[in-house]
Structure 1
């Protein structure tokens, strides 16, 4: 008797799992069709599509900058590099769409991606340079006085700020060696 009950419960569980799996697949297909519809509607207005992606890029940049300025480039250089690499990855994911939009006569997104990529590469170079300098006067990017960080809102600002820090440290180490 018990065996029959177990078999019955097992059969019910198996059926419901299969049904749930099928239902889930159907839901996924429906959402996929919806996404395709949204995509095809968006393509009918490439200017709007470009604007929404430019906005998304700006949000991503602000978010990643916020993470970087809360670190010290000298002591947390690896974490900063990781954040910069994630930013590069996000840009590369958007590049194919930007190239398609450029063919449609909307080059702003691709231009923005190229500018940001250049600024990210510059930041990486500066941090690599920073690692090679003596660490006597540790450069705290986030210090007691974080007012100087409030103007940093883009990868370019970040790169220029770090470059200034490296030059001041480089100047100090040159003076020390005389």
Structure 2
């Protein structure tokens, strides 16, 4: 009876150790695989650039969505804050973009520079709007909500704002 108990306990311990060892080996394998994937993405600049370009596009769409839902003359501070936030996010990505350019992948840096220029242009237009009399309001959101469906990038937004400010300026100079 005593021998059977020892064998039973030994068997349970052996099985437990084997199971624990297998589980641990799988966990180690999974973490090694994860590290390998991460290392591969860092060592593959083209993949890294593509993923950041995708992230940039998502960020742009998100910020554009916020801006077009605001009335530029009534909510100029919110528009400016959103534009500032966009600039900040672009600047956070710039060091990586410069590194990728150095490795022969300039697309991300070029895209960041284009977007930064468009954002800067929009900031200047919104600042100009502050100088105009409040009766010439530029209402970006419209009763017809789909009128802004064509604005999908900082460039589109900047062009839209410039057209609106030019129209306002012409109307202002015609009255004087």
Q: TM-score range by the shorter chain?
A: 0.7 to 0.9
TM-score by length of 1: 0.77
Match of 1:99 in 2: 98
Distance across 1 between alignment mates of 2:34 and 2:117: 32
Distance in structure 1 (CA, Å) of the matches to 2:154 and 2:79: 12
Per-residue Cα deviation, 1:7-51 (whole angstroms, up to 9, x for no partner): xxxxxxxxxxxxxxxxxxxxxxxxxx9987655321221100000
Which residue number corresponds to residue 164 of structure 1? 163
Q: Distance in 2 between matches of 1:39 and 1:72?
A: 43
Query: What's the counterpart of residue 87 of structure 1?
Result: 86
Provide the residue aligned with 1:16 in structure 2: none
Structure 2, unaligned runs of 5 or more: 1-31
Equivalent residue for 2:49? 50
Gaps of 5+ in 1: 1-32
Tell me the distance in 2 between the aligned counterparts of 1:80 and 1:35. 40
Q: Who is 2:120 aligned against?
A: 121
Offset at residue 57 of structure 1 (A)? 0.1
Q: CA RMSD in A?
A: 1.7
CA deviation profile, 1:39-91 (whole Å, cap 9, x unmatched): 53212211000000000000000000000000011110110000000001100
Q: TM-score, normalised by structure 2?
A: 0.78
- Equivalent residue number for residue 140 of structure 1: 139
2-side partners of 1:96 and 1:169: how far apart? 39
When Rg is computed on C-alpha atoms for both structures, the one with the higher figure is 2
Equivalent pairs, count: 145
166-175 or 54-63, larger mean C-alpha shift: 166-175
Q: What secondary structure is seen at the aligned counterpart in 2 of 1:75?
A: coil
